Structures are given as C-alpha cells and as structure tokens.
Amino acid sequence: MATTVKEIGSWQSKGTLGQGGFGTVTLWQQKETKDEVALKQCRVNLDAKNKKRWAMEIDIMKRLKHPHIVQAKDVPSELQLGQGELPLLGMEYCKKGDLRKVLCRPENCCGLRQEQVLDVAKHICDGVEYLHSKRIIHRDLKPENIVIQENENGQLVYKLTDLGYAKDLDQGSVASTFVGTLQYLAPELFASQKYNQTVDYWTLGTVLFECITGSRPFLPHMPPVKWHGTVKQKTDEEICAYINEEGAPIFTEFLLTPNHLVELYRKGFEMVLRNMLRFEPDHRGGGLDPETKRPQCFVFLDGMLAVHVVNVLYMNTDTLYSYGIRNNDAMSVIQKQLEKDTGVAPSQQDILLPTGQSVDPQKPAVQYTQGENQPGFTMFMFRKGNVPETLPPKPKPDRVNMIIQEPKTLLSYNDRKKCWGQAVYFCNQQAKEASRLLEGARASMLCTMRLNHQLTDLHKDMMSQMHKLEAKQDMFRSSLEFDIDSYAVQSPTGITSEKMFRSWKNAEREIVEDFDSLKRVYSLNGHVNITQTKIVELQKSPLSRQKQVEGLVEVEVAAQKLYRELQQSKGGEAGCTFQDSSKMQNLIIKSINYRTKQTKELYGHLQKLVYCKVESERLVPQIATSVNEMRNLERRMISHQQQRQKDIWTLLKHAVSRVHNTVSPPVSAANNIHYSRQSSSASVTSSGSGSGSGSATDLLSLGNKPLQDSLTLVNQSSVTRNKFDDVVESIKAEQEELLQATETKKWEFLNS
C-alpha cells in the first residue's frame, strides 16, 4: 500500500504521522464511524535480518496490553496488503503527538513543568517495568518513542511505542546487538558489550533527566568517540557532566538548574537517577527490593510519587515550601516545619486555602492536598498582622545576569541557546510567581470578605438589639417613674415599704448605668462602618480580580518567540554566526520592571487587606460581647419590671385587706357588743318593773348617745369603704391598662 494513496474503500488517509528506521506511520479514518487507526508500513528494501525484526515487533505488540504501551489494533480488511508483502502493524492513534515535540517547545527549554515530569516518570516507568515483566527489553527509549494520548477525563497519558528494536529475552537473557539511538545508548552498547534489561534503566534515566532539565545528562554535544571514555570517569553517585568555561568536564551529583521541581521532588529524583545512571550495568537500578523483588529504582520512585505533598507559599518572602506528609499528620506538623523554615511561630501563622478559608491545625493535612498526588495545590501563609511594603529581589540565573550585564557579548549558537533558554525560564518564572502572589492576595481578600460577612451579621444584630433596648429602656424608666410618683402620692396616708422603694430605685440606677456603658456600641458602629467602607474599596480594586500581571505574560511570549527563532536558525546561515543578546536583554529588563511595579502595588494592597482583616478580627468579638451584654440587660429589665408588678399587687393586697379589717370588726367584738346590748335591755326591763317609768327614760337617754355614734360610725365606714373600693378599682384599672399598653406596644418582643 503506497503512502500516497488517499482513500481505500471506506477508509480515508489523514496523513503521515512519522517515519522511523523501519518505515512510515500513516493515520487512517473510517468515513462513517470516524474510527481511527495508525498503520505502520515497513520499508520494502529491508534485508532479511530487519524483516525478521519487523515481524518480531508485530508479534510483541500484539502480545502486550498495558495502559502505558501503545495498543495494537487489527488492520481493517480493506487495508490489508497482498500476499508476499510484509504485514502492516495497526496501532491506536495517540492524538497529542510525541514527547520530543513537547520538549522542543520554547517554554520547556529548561525542562517540563513539575506536574508533567511526575506524570511522565510514573507512566513510562510503569510501561518499562511491564515490558521487563514480560521479559522484553525496549532498547530504544527516547522522547520520540513516547507518545501522548488524552483520556476521557482530559488527562494526558504517556505511552511507549516503536518496539522495532525490542529484544525478547526468551531468546537469550543477554543480548549483544548494537541497536538504539546513539544519544541515549547505555555505555555497554557503546562498547558493543553484552547487555540485559539494565540498558533500559540508563535510557530511562536519560529521558527523565532531559524532561526535568531540558538537556541530556552527560555531555550531549561531545563527539561519540570521546564520550564513552569521558563518562566512564564518573562515580556511581554522579548523575550529570558538563563542560566548564575552561573546557574541562565537570561531574555532579545534582540536577542542573534552573528547573521547575520543588526541593522535595528534586532531591527524590536525584536519588532515583543515581540508581538508574550508574556506569556499571550490574550496579544499575539499585538491585532488587528484598520484599517486592522489584528494582529499587522503581520501588523508590513509586514511594516518592505516592507521597502526599503540601505546598505553602510564605507571602512575606514569596518563598514556596513543600512538605511530604503521612496520612495521619495533622496540619500542626506542617506548622512546626514552617516555624523551623521561616522562624514564624504557629500562633503567628495565618495559613489560607485558595478559597480564603483558614486551615484547622488539628485536621489531617492530607485533607488540604485535594486528594492524592496533587503537587500543584498551594496554600498561602501570612505572618499575622504583618506584611512587608515590598519584596527584596530574588537571585537570577547566572546566564540571565550575564545577558543583563553584557548584552553585546557575541555568543555561538549553543551558548546563545543556553543563555536564552535561562532567559525564557526567568521570564516564565516572573509571570508564574506574580500570578501566584495574586492568587495569595485573592485568598486574603476572600478571607477578609468572609470576616466581613460575619461582621455584617453581627453589626446588624448589634444595632437592632440596641434600638430595641433603647425603646425598652425608655418604657422601663417611664413605667418606673409613674410607679414611683404614684407611690409617693399615696405614701403619706397609705401603705409604705422602704425596702421595696429602695429596690425600685436600685433597679433604676443599675439599668441606667448598664445602659450608659453600652453606649460604646455607637463607637463600634462607627469603626465597623469605616472598616467595611475600606473593604468595599479593596473589593473594587483590579488587584482583587486580576489573575495575571499585565505585561509579564506578553514579555514571556516574546521571549519564547525569540528562542523559537533561534531554534529555527540552527540549520541556516545564522546558526553558524556569533550574535549578541540585546533583544533578549530588553525583554528581561521589561519583565523585571513589570514585576517590580506589580509587587509594590500588590503589597500595598495586601497591607490594606491585612489592616482590614486585623480590624475585623478585633471588632467581631467586641460586637459579640456587646450583643450578649444587651441581651443580659434586656433580661434584667424584664425581671425588674416583673418584680415591680409583683410589688404593686402585693401593696394592693395589703390595702384591700386593711380596708376590710376597718369596715368589718372581728366576730368576737360584735358578739360582745350584742351581748352588752342584751344585758342593758334586761336591766331596763327589770328596773322598769321594779322602779317605774322614770328610770327607763333615764337609761334610754343614757343609751341614746352611744347608739347614735355607732350608727354614724357605721354609715361613715360604709361610705369610706365604697370610696376606697372605687379607688382600688381605679388603681387596678390603671395598672392593668398600663401593663396592657406596655405588653402590646413596647414589649412585644417578650412574645418573640
């Protein structure tokens, strides 16, 4: 099947995906179902040995099934070749291209982003370990043979492909054929020595190093003839070699900088690479783990990638700290680490989530990592009540400083690529760090808004309580003054109680004093209004809504464009000449100026935010205390009012009792009077029968005066009783009317 054919039956060619040592890969699509298949067609001029290797690749691919190995697919019957021709290899189509294209992007000139590095490491190591479990060596691991697929969740999946050089160890545990791409070959392949699966550890380590730093680890520009002898000088712990300014090779145990890894992962990958990049094959991989029987390099890598990571940006210095945590570690453990690294005591640490919520020191820290393996999730720490006016400048990469200081220095293509690569990285970091600070400022703004919402509710409750309390206090004092005046009017001739009267006056004094102390509420009201006005102004600030710094992203894009032009010039005449870095210097200076301006504005904004937050935190408990005091005062007023009503009814009870006692003498006295009257009558009758009518008249005249006085007294008492009853009823009516008016008009809240 010629690759120029555009259509066969119901299948349509969508173009060439790539070309390799054995042949060409073409994409085909079914017209109706839109199913896609990548077909690899072998070159017709292969010799017998390579034809056998081609058949082996097809056989191996069909036997493998793993999420990180490109899946073999059946070749549609319409696209099958005729008899005598080498068979086609059908594979799944990975739409996102290969890793080499990703690494060649200008933004990745100093390595992939941390999240990408972790995914590549996990996926490709899983794929390699799977091949080894099937006793297959890949032998040609390189970025071009790692393709990228997007799954149904939109996540990128990295897969191994192109097993044309794969070796089935069932044909012999040790191979000796010289295969693979030169720049990624293990040392034993350079020396044409026998090898085993550890050659994949070397090439895997080389690929990982390149993903992290943007360049291969060992002298990538040295001629192959000299390369093997030079690299052989390295120790087992050294993972990188480069040429210094004097032209001498320098070996190091550490990853090249700059790169995008935080310290936690940087140290972890250095450990992994020290196992993978050992010169001697027998030492490579770190041996087998005694428990799992897996290579130590894979066991360590899995352990590192499984660690939950907490990232905390200390906003006072713009420093990112990353900590690995165990499932049962509380946030207080992280706070102690932060105290060690920043010098800020846990009590002074204000740690916020991007949503503005404060973390709970007692909760497991893993709850704040957004699930497993989310290394990009960042929290923000402020020193309570303290934000600097601006930030000191951070150190710049060495080659960036050289461009700034010596922009006219003429550099070769390779030197320019190194310098400009660091310049692109620097501009990217400027934009990234500025965006991260803006995110921290938004978290602070959201936290302040949460406090402001709480403050608003408490403030509204406080003022509502205060207005109600004023009305209740006015009614209480009016009612009390009426009762005191009424008491004073009747006290000269009525019933009195000095103890009761003093309690009324004491209640009045207590309520007035407590109410006067609560007038501080109006001062709090003023402070709240001022603070909330400032918060509203801060909400309107563009810095509260901005996600990136104006100008910095544009400078980053311009720097990437300049670097891309440099890449494209390599094959042309410009690649052979020396050029200066004036254009790149202009972009670097622009980036620095934009960042300096943004930092000054942002930290001025943060200082205002912190002030409002501190003020809100100060006002909230004061308002809550005032509201509680007002409610307590309200309850005491009700209690005093109820007690006074009881006192008044007790007075009425005593008054009525006294009136009844005055009008109706005791029963014993009435009997005495009755009996006294009977004796007098008997005496009169007896005297009259014995002495004559004159004696009766005298007695009657003697008895007329007391009887008349008694009758007059009874009449007067009856009138007095009626009048008092009227007064009592009047007082009762007035008290009931007052109580009813109090309850229905001013004291309606008592029913709520």
Domain co-membership, 55 together with 110:
no
Q: Is position 746 within any domain? A: yes
User: Both 543 and 426 in a single domain?
Assistant: yes
Q: What is the pLDDT of residues 132-158, one digit of tens each?
A: 999 999 888 999 999 999 998 889 999
**Does 267 have pLDDT greater than 90?**
yes
Could you give the dihedral angle defined by the CA atoms of residues 701, 702, 706 and 712, in that order, rounded to the nearest 10 degrees? 20
Per-residue pLDDT, 429: 95
**Per-residue model confidence as pLDDT tens digits over 494-511:** 777 888 888 988 988 999
523 with 591, same domain: the answer is yes
Phi-psi region of 511 (alpha: psi -120 to 50; beta: other; left: phi over 0): alpha
| Global confidence as pTM | 0.77
pLDDT score recorded for residue 143 = 94
Helix orientation angle between 413-490 and 520-540, rounded to the nearest 10 degrees? 160
Domain end among 243, 276, 305: 305
Look at residue 26 and give its three-state secondary structure.
Answer: strand
Same domain, 345 and 210: no
Q: Pick from 625, 645, 665: which residue ends a domain?
A: 645
Distance CA 379, CA 355 (A): 10
Is residue 127 classed as helix, strand or coil in its secondary structure?
helix
Q: How does residue 705 score in pLDDT terms, banded at 50, 70 and 90?
A: very low
In a domain, 238, yes or no: yes
435 plus 559 within the same structural domain: yes
Would residue 404 count as lying in a domain? no
The C-alpha atoms of residue 120 and residue 350 are separated, in whole angstroms, by: 35
Query: Is 681 part of any domain?
Result: no
Q: Which of 119, 140, 483, 647 is catalytic?
A: 140
- Tell me the residue length of the chain: 752
For residue 344, the enclosing domain spans 308-384
Percentage above 90 pLDDT, the chain: 52
Indicate if 140 belongs to the active site.
Answer: yes
Q: Within this chain, do residues 314 and 288 fall inside the same structural domain, yes or no?
A: no
pLDDT mean over 84-112: 91
Determine contact, residues 59/87, Cβ cutoff 8 Å. Answer: no
> Residue 355's domain is classified under what CATH number?
3.10.20.90
Query: Considering only 261-265, 410-414, 706-710, 727-731, which range has the smallest mean pLDDT?
Result: 706-710
Same domain, 34 and 108: no
What's the mean per-residue pLDDT of the chain?
A: 83
**Residue 359 domain-assigned (yes or no):** yes
Mean pLDDT (whole number) for 209-237? 91
The total of structural domains in the chain comes to 5
Burial of residue 340 (number of CB atoms within 10 Å: 0-12, 13-18, 19+): exposed
Q: Rounded to the nearest 5°, which phi and psi values hold at 242?
A: -145, 165
The CATH number of the domain holding residue 78 is: 3.30.200.20
DSSP string covering 173-197, please?
Answer: SSB----S-GGG--HHHHTT--B-T
Looking at the structure, tell me whether residues 522 and 448 fall in a common domain. Answer: yes
Asked whether residue 654 is domain-assigned, the answer is no
Does residue 562 surpass a pLDDT of 60?
Answer: yes
DSSP state string for 603-640: HHHHHHHHHHHHHHHHHHHHHHHHHHHHHHHHHHHHHH
Q: What is the DSSP letter of 29?
A: E
The span from the CA of 111 to the CA of 107, in Å, is 8
Same domain, 580 and 505: yes
Q: How far apart are CA 496 and CA 124, in angstroms?
A: 100
Q: Is 571 contained in some domain?
A: yes
In a domain? residue 513: yes
**Residue of higher predicted confidence among 600 and 501:** 600
**DSSP tag of 746:** I
Cα–Cα dist 426/556, whole Å: 9
**565 residue type, one letter:** E
Specify the pLDDT at position 674: 41
Same domain (yes/no): 165, 241: yes
Task: Give the pLDDT of residue 290.
Answer: 92
Amino acid at the residue 623: I
State the amino acid at position 35 in one-letter form. Answer: D
Q: Tell me: the pLDDT tens digits for 354-365?
A: 999 999 999 998
- Chain Cα centroid distance, residue 6: 53
Distance CA 28, CA 15 (A): 8
Rounded distance between C-alpha atoms, residue 163 and residue 56, angstroms: 9
pLDDT at residue number 114: 94
Q: Are residues 455 and 561 in the same domain?
A: yes
The CATH number that applies at residue 608 is 1.20.1270.250
Q: Among 91, 120, 140, give the residue marking a domain's end.
A: 91
Q: Are residues 270 and 326 in the same domain?
A: no
